[in-house]
Amino acid sequence: MLLAIDVGNTHIVFGLYQGKHLRHHWRLRSNRATTADEVGVFLGRLLRGIGNPSISGVAISSVVPPLTQVLVEMSQQYLKQAALVVGPGVTTGMPILYDDPRQLGTDRLVNAIAAYERTKGPTIVVDCGTATKFEYVNGAGEYLGGAIAPGLGIASDALSERAARLHRVELVRPPKVLGRNTIHSIQSGLIYGYASMLDGMVARIRREHDAKARVVATGGFSTLLVPATESIEIVDEFLTLDGLRLIYERNIGQ
């Protein structure tokens, strides 16, 4: 089985693939000070819980540099696998038309690859995670670039920390857009405000590039936000893991 590991700023997500099928997935807090042994014990425990499946490969995408090495060591020591770390030199099958491809966060590229695999046409990826990231892939399957906005979670934290009279609210859709009390007003600003941000960015990207571009959403807040949007059709919580699987297949096939 293939173990795909997506290291984000908030969580590390592990996905276990049998062929194309995601069989199991787990989520660990992204703690920059953690060690290979700690992660090894955590993962070993979880793998034992599902009968110790044999792992034949590991693929990693990381946007947290100090954790990349931790996971490579963990794979080596606890899974006896040399991990494939997505980065320069790894075959992805997608031309990157970024000024400096090394500057591009690997999660963004991995998402673009997974999304294009589904649509096989011009595609916009919306990743609603710690940051809200937009990627654009043209009809020829080339990565053109993107946009990065603050994520819903960190923006909502900032609002309750920095505005004297506003307290933290539950992240649910309020009855109406226009609030008649502070809680509903904040819920509206977060949910409808962020849904509007997604719709507006999709509309602007379509206007700039291709009116027929399809939209694929992922990320922790996608299931909450997408139903409030008007332009997003496809949601896949595990898009990044799936992209890692594709890249892994393209590299072992060589």
Partner 1 sequence: MSSGLFLAIDVSNTHTVLGIYDGKTLRHHWRLQTDSGRTADEYGVIVQSLLGGVGNPAIQSIAVSSSVPPMTQIIESLCQTYIGVTPLVVGPGVRTGMPILYDKPQEVGADRIVNAIAAYERTRDTTIVVDFSTATIFDYISEKGEYVGGVIAPGLGIASDALFDRAAKLYRVELTKPKTVIGRNTAHAIQSGLIYGYVSLVDGLVTRIQKENRVKARVIATGSYATLLAPESETIDDVDEFLTLDGLRLIHERNADD
Residues in the chain: 254
Q: Quote the least distance from Cβ 176 to partner 1, whole Å.
A: 6
Give whichever of 39 and 190 is closer to partner 1, judged by the CB atom.
Answer: 190
Residue showing tokens 């649910």: 172
Dist. CA 129–CA 132, nearest whole Å:
6
Give whichever of 20 and 176 is closer to partner 1, judged by the CB atom.
Answer: 176
- Are the C-beta atoms of 244 and 61 separated by less than 8 Å? yes
Give whichever of 121 and 179 is closer to partner 1, judged by the CB atom.
Answer: 179
Dist. CA 106–CA 187, nearest whole Å:
32
Tokens of 46: 């979880």
Task: Look at residue 50 and give its three-state secondary structure.
Answer: coil
Dist. CA 123–CA 137, nearest whole Å:
5
Amino acid at 106: T
- Are the C-beta atoms of 124 and 205 separated by less than 8 Å? yes
Q: Quote the least distance from Cβ 155 to partner 1, whole Å.
A: 4
Give whichever of 114 and 124 is closer to partner 1, judged by the CB atom.
Answer: 124
Dist. CA 81–CA 56, nearest whole Å:
7
Give whichever of 47 and 109 is closer to partner 1, judged by the CB atom.
Answer: 109
Q: Which of 107, 127, 236, 242 is catalytic?
A: 107
Tokens of 180: 């008649």
100 is annotated as an active-site residue = no
Dist. CA 26–CA 50, nearest whole Å:
12
Dist. CA 225–CA 39, nearest whole Å:
31
Give whichever of 77 and 233 is closer to partner 1, judged by the CB atom.
Answer: 233
Nearest to 251 by CA among 54, 89, 14, 137: 89
> Strand 214-218 relative to strand 234-235: parallel, antiparallel, unpaired?
parallel
Residues lying near partner 1 in the complex (CB under 8 A) are found at 9, 32, 63-65, 97-100, 103-105, 130-134, 136, 144-151, 154-159, 162-166, 176-182, 185-186, 188-190, 192-201, 203-205, 208-209
Q: Annotated active-site positions, please?
A: 107
